[in-house]
Amino acid sequence: IGDQLVGLAVGLAEAVVAMHASGVTHRDLKPTNVLMAASGPKVVDFGISHAADGTTVTQTGVVVGSPSWMAPEQAQGRGTTPAVDVFSWGATVAFAATGRFPFGEGRPDAVIYRVVHEEPDLSGVDPKLLPMVAAALRKDPSARPAADKLLVDVVKTAMAGEVPRGGPVAMTTLVLDRTWAQEPPATTKRGRGRLIAG
């Protein structure tokens, strides 16, 4: 697995863990909302995020998000849970690994149809990351791993089976120290773990 791809997968998983721990569902995680900073990937643009307790300005039946990256239940307007961010993590990592949209390109309605009814094209995703990406892209939101389990699984892959002691920030920082090509300046290295841009 390419080192920076591993760093991206781990960094985005930690960002999703941090969002969900704060009670926030992003609902629009996608490549254009990820900044490739020297200190690691950072998630931005919380314009359509909402509280994980269901407090939101939208309602069931309203589709909010970007077709290529939204989960099936989101595309169908059936409401959203934190599982939509896990799905978007899988789509974003698949795109980073292959350079292709996992559900293809074309008109938004055609893409949404494939997201809801067809399996993603994951050919070219490294076999070591493939099980986690495929699990994240399951149609049934209850069958997707929770973000914290996803993070542990990706860290184990990055660390050849070892799971470092400490919480999500400690695990992510250790992996980024080993995988991220651009070493951050000394003034920004401390406290790197929170991968949400503020």
Instruction: Based on the residue annotation, tell me whether 28 is a catalytic residue of this protein.
Output: yes
Three-state helix/strand/coil letters over the chain: CCHHHHHHHHHHHHHHHHHHHCCEECCCCCHHHEEEECCEEEECCCCCCEECCCCCCCCCCCCCCCCCCCCHHHHCCCCCCCHHHHHHHHHHHHHHHHCCCCCCCCCHHHHHHHHHHCCCCCCCCCCCCHHHHHHHCCCCHHHCCCHHHHHHHHHHHHCCCCCCCCCHHHHHHHHHHHHCCCCCCHHHHCCCCCCECC
CA distance 141 to 153: 18
Which position among 28, 45, 109, 140 bears the catalytic label?
A: 28
On the CB side of 99, CA atoms within 13 Å amount to 0
Which residues share a beta bridge with 37?
A: 40
Q: Which residues are catalytic?
A: 28
